[in-house]
Amino acid sequence: MRFVRPNPLHWLWYAVGGTLPERNRMWVLWDLTTRTWVLRHFARVMVLFLPIWLVLLVPGPLSLRLSMVAAGYATGLYFSLSFMEDAAERRLVKHGFPAGINRDIREGSGSRDRAEVAELYASLYADGPSDGGADPDRRER
């Protein structure tokens, strides 16, 4: 499968929830369906948590400030990792892919043919969904 990786500024925009240009669309599909997608999600979350370190600038005991940073990270990681599947699906829908494609690709293929399945799905939806992603034949999970 051929894709164009985003430059560092576009990746930062993507990490905080932005939509990438059309030329990076296939990279988004790869990013959210590759076998390391959980680690990639974790890396994006760590970028979002960087502003938590500003708490250290608040006046007060250092132990309290470090505890606030630790509590922020623990709470944020818990919720982020709890909803990572939904976050990945929202990213794909935002980039024009049908809902559920990430789960279908990851569950429907072994590691060796995952790229082939992703390429098949990408070719089927190359122009994006014409009906907003609604598929009447799709079963509810």
Residue 133 lies in a domain: no
Pairwise pLDDT comparison (42 vs 134), residue with the higher score: 42
In the chain, the number of structural domains is: 1
**Residue 104: predicted pLDDT:** 84
Residue 101 lies in a domain: yes
Residue 137 lies in a domain: no
Residue 20 lies in a domain: yes
State the average pLDDT over residues 134-140. 47
Per the structure, the complete domain to which residue 106 belongs is given by 8-124
Could you read off the pLDDT of 66-122 as tens digits, one per residue? Answer: 999 999 999 999 999 999 999 999 999 999 999 888 888 887 755 556 666 667 667
Share of the chain above pLDDT 70, in %: 78
Distance CA 49, CA 45 (A): 6
The DSSP annotation for 72-129 comes to: HHHHHHHHHHHTHHHHHHHHHHHTTPPTTHHHHHHHSS-TTTHHHHHHHHHHHTTT--
Closest CA to 23 of 49, 5, 1: 5
Structure tokens that stand for 63 in this block: 């132990």
Residue 46 lies in a domain: yes
pLDDT higher than 90, residue 18: yes
Residue 2 lies in a domain: no
